[in-house]
Amino acid sequence: MSISSNTKIKNWILGLLSKILRIMPQKFIAKMALRIIFRNSLNDVNHEIYQKDFKHLTLKVNLNLAGVKAYQIFERTKYTKKIGEFLDDADITLSIPDTSLIWDLLSGKISGFDQGRDENNNFCVFVKKQVCTAFFKKEDGKTPELLNFPEFGVIGRAKNALNLFSLPPFTGAKMEQEKIKQDDNIATLIKSMLKNSDRTSDEEYKKRFHNKVIKVNWDITGILAYQIFEENKYSYEFGKHIEDADVKLVFSDKDQVKSFLGGVYNNGNPDYNVRYKGMMLDNGSFPINVKIPLLIVYSKDPIFSPFILSRIPFIRNIVHVEGTDPTQYGAYIPVNESVAHENMLVPFVVFEHFINKASAIAYTDCPCRVHFDCKNHDHELGCMYMGDDVKKMHFFLGKSLRLATKEEALERVRMALEDGLIPIIGRAQGEAKGHNIEDTGHFLASCFCCTCCCINGKVLANGSAGMISIYQRIEGIEVSLDPTKCKGCGTCLEVCVFHGKTEIENGKAVIDQDCCLGCGRCVSACPNDALSIKITDSKFIDNLIGRVEAVVDVEPVVNVE
Ligand code: SF4
Ligand code: SF4
Ligand code: SF4
C-alpha cells in the first residue's frame, strides 16, 4: 500500500474519531489524544531530524490537554512520557484548552496557523476557522465602505482587506450561550437574533448610523433573512432577501452559526481573544475567519523562542517541518578577512556577480531591527531582492520597499559589510510569499543579519533541523579550532547564534561541523585566536554562485513567442 493511501486512511480514521469524540467527555478525549501524540512521538525517535534536533538539547515539556496532565522528555537517545503528572522542572508547558480542535489538528483539517501573545504575554498559536463568507455589493468595482454593522461591530477598511472588530458595548445582538446550546433550531435562533438587533435607542448606534443606511442579507444554512440599519430605524424580515443589499453573509456550518449567534467569538469572551479578519478574493467574496487559541505556551525562560516548538515531534509533524527541499537553498557568506578573493571580501564578490546580472533589484528596511528597535545596527540595511519577480512586488507610499539601481545596491552591500552585518543569500520561497507575490524561480532573496535582532538567527538557533535545512554551509570553506590556543572561555558559544558548537568539553570548545554554517562570527570573536576559517577549495565562490543559480535566475526572462 502506498504512503499516500496510508495517510488517507489514517486521516479518514482520525476524521471519523473526531466526529464521534465530539460527543464524548473532554477528559476522555484528552487522554485519547495524548496516547496518539505519545505513540507518534515514539515512532519519531529514530528519525534523522529527531536525532539532530535533540543532539545538543534535552527538552522537558508538560502537556495540559483540557485539564489532563502529561509530560514528555526528549533526549538524543531517549524518549520518556507519562500521563497524569507534570514535571517540576519542565522547560515549557503546552496547554490545549479546546480538545475538539486537537482532533481537527491531528487529522490534518487545520491548515492555517497564526501566532501571537495572550493578555499575560504567553505565546499562543491560533487557528483560523471560517465563520462565513461575505459578498459585497460592487461600487464602481471598489470595495464598498461598510461601517457600523451591529453583528460584527465596526467594519474598518484597509487597502484591499477589511478588518472586522467587535465593539465592547455589544450586548444588543448577543444571545445567551446556554439558550443557544439547548436550542438546536437554527430558524428560532435567527429570529431571536433579528429581534435582538434593534439598538436604535443606543446613542452609540445613532452616532454610527448617522446619515447611513446598511442593508444586510443573511443566508444561514439556507435560511434567508434581511436587516436594514438606519439612524432612527431598524427593520428586518425573516424568510426573505432584500434587493440591493450592501452585503450578503453566507453561513454553511451549523456549529459556526451557533458560536456566532451566541457571541462566542466576540471580544468580550476571555477564552476567545479573536478578531474577525479576512481578505477580499478576486471573485468579490470575503471569507470571514475567526482566530481561536489552539495552544498556549508557558515558559520559565523569559527569552523563550517559539521556534523551539518546531522540534517537538507532534508539532513538527503537524507543521510538516520535514527537511530538504531541492528547490530552495541559502548560505551565509563569511565576512571574515581571511576568506578574501583578490583582496575583496567574499560577500562583495558574490553580490557584485548577482547585482550585475539582475533584471530588477529592490530593497527594504530591516523589519527585524525596526521591530526590535535595534540600537546596534542601521535599521535601513535590510533585505535585498533581485530578479524578474521583483517587478511584481507591491511598492506603495509609506512602505520602505523601493527599487534600486545597481550602484545603489552595491553601495548598500558595502555599507552592510562595514556595519558588521552577515549576508545571507539564496532562494527561500517564504520570502516571496511574505511579500504576497509568486516566486517563479526569479526571486533571489538576501538579508544582512545581525546577532541581536535577526529573526533568521533565531530560527537557525532554535528551529527544527528540518526547518533550517534550506541553509547550508558554503562548500569549500572550513572552520577549525586550534586546541593548544583554546582556553575554554566560551565566547565563541555566545556569539554563535546558529549553535554551531556543542559545548566546552574538557576545557576546550568543540565545533560541530554538522551544525556550523561557516559564518565566521566566532573566528572574529575568539580572544585567543584559536579559531580559523579557511578556504579548502579555491573554486568555492564559483561553487556558491553555481548552487544559487541552480535554484534561482536573476537575469531578465526572455519570452519566446
Ligand atoms: S532576517 Fe536579518 S536582515 Fe533580514 S530582516 Fe531580519 S535581521 Fe534583517
Ligand atoms: S572563544 Fe576561543 S578560546 Fe574561548 S572557548 Fe571559544 S575557541 Fe576557545
Ligand atoms: S561555529 Fe562559528 S562559523 Fe560556525 S556557525 Fe557558529 S559562529 Fe558561525
Closest CA to 513 of 472, 546, 544: 472
Indicate which residue's Cα is closest to atom 4 of ligand 3: 516
Beta-carbon-side half-sphere exposure of residue 449 (alpha carbons within 13 Å): 25
3 state SS for 444-474: EEEEEECCCCCHHHHHHHHCCCCCCCCECCC
Q: Around Cβ 201, how many Cβ atoms within 10 Å?
A: 10
Q: Report which protein residue has its CA nearest ligand 3's atom 8.
A: 519
Q: In this predicted structure, what is the pLDDT of residue 178?
A: 54
CB of 32 within 6 A of ligand 1: the answer is no
Taking the centre of ligand 2 as the mean of its atom positions, its distance from the CA of residue 487, in whole angstroms, is 6
Q: Of all protein residues, whose CA lies closest to atom 5 belonging to ligand 1?
A: 366
Closest C-alpha to 386, from 499, 549, 245 = 549
- ipTM metric: 0.89
pLDDT at 487: 94
Residue ranges and CATH numbers for the domains of the chain are 3-125+296-318 (3.30.1050), 144-279 (3.30.1050), 329-476+537-549 (no CATH)
Cell matching residue 272 = 476567545
Q: What pLDDT score was predicted for residue 441? A: 93
Helix, strand or coil, per DSSP, at residue 538: coil
φ/ψ of residue 277, rounded to 5: -150, 145
Which ligand is the nearest neighbour of the Cα of 522?
3
Say what the pLDDT of residue 71 is: 97
Q: How far is the CA of 447 from the centre of ligand 1 (A)?
A: 5
Predicted confidence at residue 10, as pLDDT, reads 66
Coil, strand, or helix at residue 434?
A: helix
Residue 180: per-residue pLDDT:
53
Splitting the chain (561 residues) into consecutive groups of 10 residues, what average pLDDT does each group show?
59 67 75 89 84 89 93 92 95 85 72 72 80 73 47 37 34 48 73 80 78 86 90 92 88 78 54 49 68 81 81 81 73 75 76 95 92 90 94 78 93 91 87 87 92 81 83 86 94 78 81 85 90 87 90 82 48
Would you list the DSSP string of 342-381? TTEEHHHHHHHHHHHH-S-EEE---HHHHHTT-SSS-TT-
The pLDDT mean for the chain works out to 79
Residue 516 Cβ < 6 Å to ligand 3:
yes
- Name the residue of 307, 335, 351, 368 to mutate for ligand 1: max ligand atoms within 8 A of Cβ: 368
Secondary structure of the chain: what % helix, strand, coil (to 5)?
30, 25, 45
Considering only CA atoms, which of 152, 216, 218, 223 is closest in space to residue 185?
223
* Strands 214-220 vs 247-251: parallel, antiparallel or unpaired: parallel
Instruction: Please work out whether the CB of residue 454 comes within 6 Å of at least one atom of ligand 1.
Output: yes
Distance 87 CA to ligand 3 centre (A): 34
CA of 250 to the centre of ligand 2 (A): 64
- Distance of alpha carbon 275 from alpha carbon 559, whole angstroms: 45
Tell me, using a 6 A CB cutoff, whether residue 519 lines ligand 3: yes
Ligand 1 atom closest to 453 (CA): 7
Check: CB of residue 247 under 8 Å from CB of residue 135.
yes
What gap in Å lies between CA 244 and CA 100, rounded to an integer?
39
How far does the centroid of ligand 1 lie from the alpha carbon of residue 317, in Å?
A: 27
pLDDT at position 387 is 96
511 lines ligand 3 (CB under 6 A): yes
- Output the CA 528–ligand 2 centroid distance in Å: 7
322-336 pLDDT, tens per residue?
A: 666 778 888 888 877
Which atom of ligand 2 sits closest to the CA of residue 488?
Answer: 5
Task: For ligand 1, atom 7, name the residue with the nearest CA.
Answer: 454
